[in-house]
Amino acid sequence: MRLKDKVCIITGGAKGIGEATSYKFAEEGAKVVVADIDFAAAETAVANIKAKGGDALAVKVDVVNKESVAQMVEQTMKKYGRIDVLINNAGIIMDAQLSKMTDEQFNRVIDINLRGVYNCAKAVVDIMIAQGSGVIINASSIVGLYGNFGQTNYAATKFGVIGMAKSWAKELGRKGIRALAVCPGFIDTPILAPMPQKVIDSMVAKVPLGRLGKPEEIAATYAFLASDEASYITGVAIEVGGGVTI
**Domain limits of the chain?**
7-240
Q: Find the mean pLDDT for residues 47-55.
A: 98
| Mean pLDDT, residues 46-57 | 98
- pLDDT at site 195: 77
Q: Which residues contact 73 (CB under 8 A, 6 or more apart)?
A: 9, 83, 123, 124, 127
Find the range with the poorest average confidence among 130-134, 164-168, 203-207. Answer: 203-207
- pLDDT number for residue 109: 98
Percent of the chain with pLDDT over 90: 93
Whether the CB-CB separation of 144 and 158 falls below 8 Å is answered with yes
The half-sphere exposure of 111 on its side-chain side, counting CA atoms within 13 A, is 12
CB-count exposure of residue 116 (10 Å: 0-12, 13-18, 19+): buried
Q: Give catalytic residue positions.
A: 154
Look at residue 72 and tell me whether its pLDDT is greater than 90. Answer: yes
Q: What is the CATH number of domain 7-240?
A: 3.40.50.720
Q: Whole-model pTM?
A: 0.96
